[in-house]
Structure 1
Amino acid sequence: MADPYLIGDAMTGGYGGADILHDCTISVERGEIAVIVGPNGAGKSTAMKAVFGMLQLRKGMVRLDGTDITGLSPQARVRAGMGFVPQTGNIFPGMTVEENLEMGAFIRDDDISDTREQVFDLFPILRDKRAQAAGELSGGQRQQVAVGRALMTKPKVLMLDEPTAGVSPIVMDELFDRIIEVARTGIPILMVEQNARQALEIADKGFVMVQGRNRYTDTGKALLADPEVRKSFLGG
């Protein structure tokens, strides 16, 4: 069988001596939304960072479109087509919205204006606030800037670490709608999300992690319907 478009396969590793991930596998196919959920401290963000090359693996490998990229730095992975939006520190607050987007295109030497217009079409509020300092925006708008900046690299796959952290339920729904729109353009999306129920509702595939291991892997719909998953991770 062919590999998924992006896969962190049987990953084991951590920071320093102790392993946080134990034989953990996460993946996403083209045009798919895959979400990683689980309790606090389960290793969700660590798994995401491992796939992006911010964590050295003791065992396992990462493959992008069939190519082993385990040895690549995060910078090299961006050039290979991976867009990554960390949970915090994901914008330049003193720069304008437009300057933030331009910073996202740092690896490109072609005309970026079409991509910038696509980002403004996806997030119309950013067009209105293009000259405003990103640090003056609301939490939800800053997240839109962060996602937009990642899209400026024209990524082949987009990784989002807790994209709705700290935003209101209304803003969360809006961000999820935009994430669905991005996936519809064919870009695979892999994201870690604390709002497990809402994330699984939009997910093609879900991974429930516990203590650095895969506990459940299935479609978003199947995980929402699973009594064990509902009871243990979704509040009944």
Structure 2
Amino acid sequence: MSEPVLIGEGMTGGYGTGADILHDCTIAVDAGEIAVIVGPNGAGKSTAMKAVFGMLTLRAGSVRLNGQDISGLSPQARVGRGMGFVPQTNNIFPSMSVAENLEMGAFIRRDDIRQTMEQIYTLFPILRDKRHQAAGELSGGQRQQVAVGRALMTKPSVLMLDEPTAGVSPIVMDELFDRIIEVARTGIPILMVEQNARQALAIADKGYVLVQGANRFTDTGAALLANPEVRNSFLGG
């Protein structure tokens, strides 16, 4: 088996000097894959994502990106190595225009960003139409597209999304998932935490069900949807 593009392996840890939230937790995403992390509230889903991104201290385990151990790197350094991360909230600059938000995403680049901008406008046509509008004036779904687009401006080797459909309508959720599939088809692997478990597993190549900070089930998205225990315990039957 080849090394995944991104893997947090055997992660144990929590915030500061507090109790451990993650317990020997492993999540990974392979090239061209959508991997989703689901589970009940308080399961440690977003904590696992933040651990991979370097936002809490691991007491055990490691994080590897493209085969290199990055466990000791800051989140900023991880972005420089190829991680794109979209937090659940406060993920845009509301007073800046859509175009300015995208330009801010390219802060670490020293090359011509216009081609990447064009690719993002092709991926998210509404952003081209709204490019001169303040991002804070957009709908929730459109703001999420700005946030994802800004992360893509770094030309990441992996994209991490924390609850991308939180607070949006079912129609907007379906549209965002369609866009996420399109991003994955460009070759960028996606690791995603999602509260809408059934819908997320339906588009996932691989799924992780976490319970109390530990792996409970790991399988393909289709297999998890078909698993009676997963359905009854985590998907509402």
Q: Shared topology, TM-score over 0.5?
A: yes
1:159-213 CA deviation, whole Å, 9 max, x = no partner? Answer: 0000000000000000000000010111000000000000000000000000000
Q: Is 1:209 matched up with 2:210?
A: yes
Aligned partner of 1:69 in structure 2 is 70
Q: SS of 1:106's equivalent?
A: coil
Q: SS of 2:40's equivalent?
A: coil
1:19-50 CA deviation, whole Å, 9 max, x = no partner? Answer: 00000000000000000000000000000000
Q: SS of 2:131's equivalent?
A: coil
How far is 1:2 from its partner? 2.8
Q: Is 1:97 matched up with 2:74?
A: no
Runs of 4+ in 1 over 4 A off after TM superposition: none
Aligned partner letter, 1:46 = T
Aligned partner of 1:5 in structure 2 is 5
Aligned partner of 2:110 in structure 1 is 109
Report 1:139-218 matches (<5 A): 139-218=140-219
Aligned partners of 2:176, 2:122: CA distance in 1, in Å? 14
How far is 1:3 from its partner? 1.9
Aligned partner of 1:51 in structure 2 is 52
Aligned partner letter, 2:188 = I
Aligned partners of 2:38, 2:146: CA distance in 1, in Å? 24
Q: SS of 1:13's equivalent?
A: strand
How far is 1:17 from its partner? 2.4
Aligned partners of 1:218, 1:101: CA distance in 2, in Å? 35
Aligned partner of 1:232 in structure 2 is 233
How far is 1:5 from its partner? 1.1
1:54-89 CA deviation, whole Å, 9 max, x = no partner? Answer: 011000000001100000000000000000000000
Aligned partners of 2:152, 2:63: CA distance in 1, in Å? 22
How far is 1:229 from its partner? 0.1
Aligned partners of 2:182, 2:88: CA distance in 1, in Å? 20
Q: Give the alignment's Cα RMSD to 1 decimal.
A: 0.5
Question: Structure 2: which 5+ runs fail to align?
Answer: none
Aligned partner letter, 2:63 = V
Aligned partners of 1:95, 1:163: CA distance in 2, in Å? 21
Q: SS of 1:17's equivalent?
A: coil
Aligned partner letter, 1:32 = E
Aligned partners of 2:3, 2:152: CA distance in 1, in Å? 24
Using structure 1 for the length normalisation, give the TM-score.
Answer: 0.99
Aligned partner letter, 2:18 = G
Q: Is 1:87 matched up with 2:88?
A: yes
1:115-149 CA deviation, whole Å, 9 max, x = no partner? Answer: 00100001100000000000000000000000000
Aligned partners of 1:17, 1:233: CA distance in 2, in Å? 27
Aligned partner letter, 1:112 = I
Among the aligned pairs, what percent are the same residue? 84
Question: Structure 1: which 5+ runs fail to align?
Answer: none
Aligned partner letter, 1:168 = S
Aligned partner of 2:14 in structure 1 is 14
Aligned partners of 1:162, 1:29: CA distance in 2, in Å? 20
